Amino acid sequence: MTSFPLRRKLAVISIALLPLGALAACGGENSRTSCNVNSCTVTFDRGVDASASILGVEAELVRVQGQMVTLKVAGQTVTVPVGEGEQEAEGFNVSVQSVTQDNVVVKISNAG
């Protein structure tokens, strides 16, 4: 039988390592991510193939046309206006925070 102090130490270690696992679950090619438990902010580089693996799914920048950004999230293509609302894709809310000549900043969060 495990003693109480040992169980407490194991619980503390597990809780301390949890954020490292969340950070390891984010990343991509030609993109930077910042994630918490329910959402990620992804900065995609423009002019190159840019994608990120976040919240257990793949997100990809497809196209920017004026103030409309087309993304593929979990295999579903969505077009979202910059700074105006959000679209749902496969159980995720997708919003575009900003578009510059060099980057597109997108927030993707669990819809549930």
Give the tens place of pLDDT for each residue, 64-106. Answer: 999 999 999 999 999 999 998 899 999 999 999 999 999 999 9
Spans of all domains in the chain: 4-110
| 106 C-beta neighbours (distance < 10 Å), count | 27
The pLDDT of residue 2 is above 80: no
Confidence of residue 49 (pLDDT cuts 50, 70, 90): very high
User: CA dist 78 to 10, 20, 63, 84, 103, Å?
Assistant: 43, 30, 10, 14, 18
Confidence of residue 16 (pLDDT cuts 50, 70, 90): very low
Mean pLDDT of 27-46: 91
50, 30 contact by CB (below 8 A): yes
Mean pLDDT of 36-61: 94
